[in-house]
């Protein structure tokens, strides 16, 4: 259990639980100095950019316990090509691929795979650098955009991938580089619109657990994907410590890796934390101090948790900022938890939108349908005229629940 909690950059939601501090996460010396001045016992580096930038290395070098992978290990998220090459070396099941460093190479790869095909910016693109192209025209437009700078430096190299057929699920594991413990599953909804339509986003909602990832399939994912990854990283001299989030496609041949995140992810983190019954700080500290094998594995509620993202109009393009948000407290009176993402407090004390994904409205229930009903009751209690959400989060599992009944 934490004594004092600090958050940087923070937002009005976490301000109820933590002291907000203004830190430039690219200023490693400044972050280290702050931690030294407060005698911080554990540093959790959450976002992908400071992980890929090596903030954990700077903090560990200064003697701090840090949850999160090193710069070298964070390449599992920071470079799609790095991860695909590791899969090839370690015989980890994943889609066929070609790394392309020029438009000509990418166009040749498109001809090799045909449509449908998946095109990914190699680097970090805030969850938006993936295009699932159903036609060659869409695929060619996607590689043109990437090499024209649509995703900045992230698209200087692209990965062209075989299109996999199946259902997606997310599996989470904690590891200190040696011990691996399962940390639950979830199913995200990437498309912006109902019925999985429109462009990919960073996620419009999720639920946990993802029952489609059965215990047998989870065991396969650990044995064939996660464990070989952890071993390959250790063998390469870059042991992975932190949370390993595996995006999986459940194909007829078994689970295949789509990609890794080096963090809990959003909105998956919210549903995992709503179900977690163990002491999170104890787990994170054990990871940081290479003692994961000496503590009890995490315990989760048998309830289902669902989160619905309320986003600002215009997302995932150019979101409209400044929209007023009211009645968050009324939403939580329904038993939900409203996690803040892109929010700020105006000088007049009014909660306003400041990003694309603004709120994650999260609730639990004994079934996916019950969790859905509770989450949407809370959504409907919030007044956010310049926001929107999907109304069908969890639809696949609800259909399965209905069929089973």
pLDDT tens, residue order, the chain (405 aa):
568 999 999 999 999 999 999 999 999 999 999 999 999 999 999 999 999 999 999 999 999 999 999 999 999 999 999 999 999 999 999 999 999 999 999 999 999 999 999 999 998 877 678 889 999 999 999 999 899 888 888 778 899 999 999 999 999 999 999 999 999 999 999 999 999 999 888 899 999 999 999 999 999 999 999 999 999 999 999 999 999 999 999 999 999 999 999 999 999 999 999 999 999 999 999 999 999 999 999 999 999 999 999 999 999 999 999 999 999 999 998 789 999 999 999 999 999 999 999 999 999 999 999 999 999 999 999 999 999 999 999 999 999 988 887
Q: Tell me how far the alpha carbon of residue 240 is from its chain's centroid.
A: 17
Question: Which class for 329: exposed (0-12), middle (13-18), buried (19 or more C-beta within 10 A)?
Answer: exposed
Q: What is the pLDDT of residue 127?
A: 67
Q: Which of 359, 286, 291 is nearest to 326 (CA)?
A: 359
pLDDT at 392: 97
Compute the distance between CA of residue 122 and CA of residue 104 in angstroms, rounded to an integer: 16
- Three-point CA angle 208, 280, 8, nearest 5°: 100
What is d(CA 204, CA 63) in angstroms, rounded to the nearest whole number? 38
Nearest to 75 by CA among 121, 26, 122: 122
Residue 305, pLDDT score: 98
pLDDT at 307: 98
pLDDT score, position 403: 87
Report strand pairing: 304-312 vs 387-388. Answer: antiparallel
Containing H/E element for 362? strand 357-365
User: Residue 161 corresponds to which tokens in the numbers above?
Assistant: 């991938």
Give me the helix-helix angle, 368-381 and 395-404, nearest 10°.
140
Residue 370, CA distances (Å) to 64, 216, 271, 303 in order: 42, 26, 14, 10
Rounded CA-CA distance 184/173 in Å is 7
C-alpha separations of 259 from 45, 79, 84, 112, 115 in Å? 20, 10, 8, 21, 20
pLDDT score for 186: 97
Structure token digits, residue 320: 């409209």
Rounded CA gap, 26 and 185, in Å? Answer: 31
Tokens matching residue 353:
């939108």
Any idea what the Cα angle at residue 261 is, between residues 71 and 189, rounded to 5°?
Answer: 155
Rg (CA), the chain: 21
Question: Alpha-carbon distance 91 to 160, whole Å?
Answer: 19
Tokens of 372: 């859905």
Confidence (pTM) = 0.94
Beta strands in 153-287 (DSSP E): 158-162, 167-175, 180-188, 191-193, 197-200, 205-208, 242-251, 254-261
């Amino acid at each position: 259990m934490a004594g004092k909690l600090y958050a940087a950059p923070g937002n009005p939601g976490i301000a109820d639980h933590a002291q907000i501090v203004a830190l430039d996460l690219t200023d490693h010396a400044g972050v280290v100095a702050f931690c030294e001045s407060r005698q911080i016992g554990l540093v959790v580096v959450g976002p992908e950019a400071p992980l890929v930038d090596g903030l954990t290395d700077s903090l560990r070098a200064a003697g701090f316990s840090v949850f999160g992978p090193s710069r070298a290990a964070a390449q599992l998220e920071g470079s799609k090509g790095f991860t695909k090459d590791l899969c090839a070396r370690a015989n980890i099941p994943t889609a066929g691929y070609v790394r392309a460093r020029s438009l000509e190479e990418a166009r040749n790869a498109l001809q090799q795979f045909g449509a449908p095909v998946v095109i990914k910016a190699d680097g970090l693109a805030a969850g938006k650098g993936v295009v699932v192209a159903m036609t060659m025209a869409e695929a060619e437009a996607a590689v043109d955009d990437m090499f024209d700078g649509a995703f900045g430096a992230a698209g200087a190299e692209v990965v062209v991938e075989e299109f996999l057929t199946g259902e997606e699920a997310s599996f989470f594991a904690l590891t200190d580089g040696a011990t691996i413990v399962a940390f639950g599953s979830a199913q995200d909804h990437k498309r912006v619109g109902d019925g999985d339509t429109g462009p990919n986003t960073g996620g419009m909602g999720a639920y946990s657990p993802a029952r489609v990832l059965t215990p047998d399939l989870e065991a396969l994912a650990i044995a064939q994907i996660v464990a070989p990854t952890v071993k390959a990283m250790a063998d390469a001299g870059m042991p992975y410590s932190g949370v390993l989030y595996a995006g999986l496609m459940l194909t007829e041949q078994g689970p295949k890796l789509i990609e890794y995140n080096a963090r809990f992810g959003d909105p998956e983190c919210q549903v995992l934390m709503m179900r977690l019954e163990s002491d999170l700080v104890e787990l994170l500290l054990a990871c940081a101090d290479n003692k994961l094998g000496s503590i009890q594995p995490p315990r989760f509620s048998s309830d289902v948790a669902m989160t619905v993202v309320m986003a600002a109009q215009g997302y995932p393009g150019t979101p409209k900022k400044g929209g007023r948000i009211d009645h968050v407290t009324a939403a939580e009176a329904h038993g939900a938890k409203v996690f803040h993402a892109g929010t700020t407090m105006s000088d007049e004390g009014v909660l306003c939108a400041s990003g694309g994904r603004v709120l994650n409205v999260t609730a639990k229930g004994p079934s996916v349908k019950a969790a859905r009903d509770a989450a949407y009751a809370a959504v409907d209690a919030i007044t956010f005229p310049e926001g929107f959400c999907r109304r069908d989060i969890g639809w696949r599992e609800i259909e399965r629940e209905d069929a089973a009944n």
